[in-house]
Structure 1
Amino acid sequence: MPRVGLAAPRFAWFHPEKTGTSLGNSLVHIANPQLPANVSILSSCGPRGQRRPCRGTTDRFGQDRYTYARWFPGVFWEKGGDFAKHVAVDDSVFAKWAGSFVGLFRDPARRAVSAYYHKYTGFCRSQQATRGASATCMTLTPYARFIEGQVATLLACKVGRDPATGRRYRRTNLFWCKRPHADALNVALKRLASFSFVGLTDEFDVSVCLLHVMHRAPCRPVELTNERPTDYRQRARAHGEAFQSVDELAQALREKYVDPLDTPLYNMAVRRFEADIREHNVTQSACAQLRCATSATTRYFDSRERLLSGK
C-alpha cells in the first residue's frame, strides 16, 4: 500500500562510500510507514526473510517491488533509479534539494581503514592475479592520501571549467576520487550547514534515534541492523597480518596522516550532531519510547551523562 493521508518528507541522501548503507532502511520506513516492517533496501526483490533472486542487475529497491512512483512519489533524490548511489552533489542538485539533504559522516581515519580493507585490498588482489608482479598494492597510509578529500569533493562537486585555469572540472562520484578543486572545503562546509539531518556512522544507533525523534516515528528492528559489516579479523587473517581493531588501525593512521579536507568537514558534522541531540532532547528514554533504544544508545547517553557531570 502506498502512503495515504500523510505528508511525505523529502530526502536527498548524501551517501559517501563506507558511511552506512543501513541508513537507507530508516529513510524508506520514515518516508512511508505503510512499508512492510521487515523490508530492507538490500532485499529489494522481497521482504527480509522472504528473499527471492532478483531478475537482473537493474532490480534494485525502488525499481522492482517497492517502486518510487507508487511508494515514494517525489520523496527521494533518486539518482537515476538508486537513491543509495554514491553520487556527487553539484550546483544543480544542491539547488533542487537544498534543505532536504540527509547523511551520515564518519571519522576520516576510520572511513579510510574500512574502505581500504573492504574495497581496495580485494581490488588490488584481483589486479595482481591478472597482471602479476607489475601490479603493486598501496599500504594504508598511501591509500588514505590517495582518497584525500573524497567526502568534501563529493559534497562540493563542480561541473564546467575552472575560471582560473580554464581546465574542465572532473566530476567525482565513485570510488576513484579525483583531486578536489581549490574551494571544495568551503563549499562543502556551506552545504553541510543546510542539511536537514546529520548523523555519525560511528554513533549509528543514536543517529537513527535522532532521525526518528525528529520525525516522531517509531523504529523498526530492520533499521538497527548493520547491512554491510566489515570483518577486520577475517581480513587480517586473509593477509597474514596480526589482528587489529578498526580503532587501533585508525589511531595508527592518524599518527602518520590527517586528511586536511575531510577532517574539518567531519568535525563540523560532529558539532551539528551534538547540537541536534540537545535541541531535540534526544535521551535514552526518548529512544526507548520510539523503540530505538539499544545497548549502543545506552553507552552513548551514559558516557554523555558522565561527561556533563564531570565524573
Structure 2
Amino acid sequence: MRYCLLLAGLSRLSRAYAQDDCHAGELQLLQRKLDLETSVASSTEPLVLPQLRAAEPIKWLHIPKCGTSFLNALIHLPSVCPGVNASYRVDDKVLGKHFEEEFFRECPEVCNTSKFNCDYGHHEGIGTSYEMELKGHLVTMLREPKQRILSAFHDPVWTHGVAGESAASYAEKQRGGMTCQVMRDGDMDPPPKECHELTEADARLAAVRLREGFAFVGITDEWDLSICLLHRIFGGDCLLSDFEDNRPSVEGAKHYHIYNILELEGYEDPVDRILYNEAKQIFFEKRLAYNATPACKTSDSGFGL
C-alpha cells in the first residue's frame, strides 16, 4: 500500500512503484491524476526568484530537534522538486517510521539535483565541506538551546543518546551541539565528546558562517513566521504541510511544545547561546527586510495563501 501512497503523492515517479496490492480501480484513478498533473506541469513553469536561484542547490543542515517538518517546506519551493505535487508530505503515513531517510532515497528521482542537494547526511556536521562546496547554499532552523535539549531528552521515539540519566546530566552531553554541527564533521546525534571542548570563540566563528554562508536561517520557536519568511525570500505558496509537525515530541501535539527548564537544574550553554542569539538577530533582520508576517498562514489549521 505504501507504493500507492507514493504514486499519489509523487507526480513523476515511475509506475513501477505500483504493486499488485493496489486495486485496479485505484490505479485507474491514479493514472488519471498523473496525466492531469503532467499536463499542468508541462504548461506552466513556476516563477523562480533570484534569491532561490542563487541558493541552488539548496543544502538543508538538519540540526537534531530543530524541525524535521522543515523538509516539507523546502521540497515544495518553486521548481526544486518537480516530481512532488502540492499534496505530498514527507511523514510516517506516507513513508513509514524512517520517512526522512526514505525520502532521500527517492530524492534523486523526484527532485532536481541541480536545485536541491539530495545527499543524505541526516545530522552530520558541515565543518570541512562548508568552504569547499556548501557556503551560500545552506538553509537551516535553530532552536532555543534548552528547549532543544529537553525535546531530545523526552523524545518518545528516538533516544538521541539518552542513557537513563537526569535531564541536567544529559544536557552536559549535548553542550555545544549546534555550534559543533556548523564547525565540525561527523554525526552529531548525539554529538561527539570533542564538541564539549568548543569555546565561545568557536561559537563566534560559527555565527559568522551562519550570517555569510546560509541563504536562510529560521527559528523553530517562531515556526509560522519562519515559514512565511522562507516564502517571502524564495517564493512559492504556503501549504498546509509547511505548518504541520511530522515528528512531534509529545504524542498528539499539533503545535510547538514548551518544556519546563527547571528540569535542567540551572544548566547553561554559553557556546550554543551565542550561535542561537546570532540566528535570532539574522532572523529579525530578514523579517524586517522582507516585511514578513504570519499572514501566509490564514488559520490555525494551517491553510496558506
Residue 225 (structure 2) aligns with: 206
Distance 1:58 1:255 in 2: 34
Any residues of structure 2 matched to 1:21-40 within 5 Å, and which?
21-30=68-77, 31-32=80-81, 35-40=84-89
Indicate how the Cα distance of structure 1 residues 218 and 254 shifts in structure 2: closer, same or farther if over 3 A, else same. Answer: same
**Aligned match for 2:238, one of 211, 216, 219:** 219
C-alpha displacement of 1:184: 3.0
Distance 1:184 1:232 in 2: 36
Q: Deviations over 1:101-135 (max 9, x none)?
A: 1110000000011000116995789x7xxxxxxxx
Distance 1:277 1:14 in 2: 21
C-alpha displacement of 1:174: 2.8
Higher helix share: 2
Distance 1:94 1:27 in 2: 23
Distance 1:296 1:202 in 2: 18
Task: Indicate whether 1:74 and 2:114 are aligned.
Answer: yes
C-alpha displacement of 1:273: 0.7
CA contact (8 A) 1:42 1:61 kept: no
Residue 281 (structure 1) aligns with: 291
Residue 165 (structure 2) aligns with: 138
Distance 2:66 2:95 in 1: 27
**Aligned match for 1:107, one of 144, 147, 168:** 144
Task: Indicate whether 1:189 and 2:168 are aligned.
Answer: no
TM-score normalised over the length of structure 2: 0.69
Indicate how the Cα distance of structure 1 residues 174 and 40 shifts in structure 2: closer, same or farther if over 3 A, else same. Answer: same
CA contact (8 A) 1:153 1:172 kept: no
Any residues of structure 2 matched to 1:1-311 within 5 Å, and which?
5=45, 9-30=56-77, 31-32=80-81, 35-42=84-91, 51=94, 60-64=102-106, 67-79=107-119, 82=120, 85-118=122-155, 137-157=164-184, 171-180=186-195, 181-182=198-199, 184-194=202-212, 195-231=214-250, 247=258, 249-250=260-261, 252-253=262-263, 256-285=266-295, 287=296, 292-295=297-300
Distance 2:133 2:144 in 1: 28
- What letter is aligned with 2:63? P
User: How many residues are treated as equivalent by the alignment?
Assistant: 247
Distance 2:95 2:117 in 1: 27
CA contact (8 A) 2:81 2:110 kept: no
Residue 301 (structure 1) aligns with: none
Indicate how the Cα distance of structure 1 residues 52 and 192 shifts in structure 2: closer, same or farther if over 3 A, else same. Answer: closer
Indicate how the Cα distance of structure 1 residues 258 and 248 shifts in structure 2: closer, same or farther if over 3 A, else same. Answer: same
CA contact (8 A) 1:11 1:102 kept: yes
C-alpha displacement of 1:87: 1.3
CA contact (8 A) 1:232 1:246 kept: no
Distance 1:211 1:187 in 2: 24
Distance 1:233 1:141 in 2: 26
Distance 1:120 1:139 in 2: 18
Indicate how the Cα distance of structure 1 residues 280 and 52 shifts in structure 2: closer, same or farther if over 3 A, else same. Answer: closer
Distance 1:175 1:36 in 2: 34
Indicate how the Cα distance of structure 1 residues 120 and 256 shifts in structure 2: closer, same or farther if over 3 A, else same. Answer: farther
- Structure 1 window deviating more from structure 2 (171-180 vs 101-110): it is 171-180
CA contact (8 A) 1:117 1:232 kept: no
Indicate how the Cα distance of structure 1 residues 63 and 213 shifts in structure 2: closer, same or farther if over 3 A, else same. Answer: same
Indicate how the Cα distance of structure 1 residues 177 and 33 shifts in structure 2: closer, same or farther if over 3 A, else same. Answer: same
Distance 2:131 2:244 in 1: 30
Output the aligned Cα RMSD.
Answer: 3.4
CA contact (8 A) 1:152 1:188 kept: yes
Q: Deviations over 1:5-31 (max 9, x none)?
A: 555642111111100000000100002
CA contact (8 A) 1:109 1:253 kept: no
Distance 2:237 2:270 in 1: 38
C-alpha displacement of 1:144: 0.7
Ranges in structure 1 where 5+ consecutive residues have no aligned partner: 128-136, 159-170, 235-244, 298-311
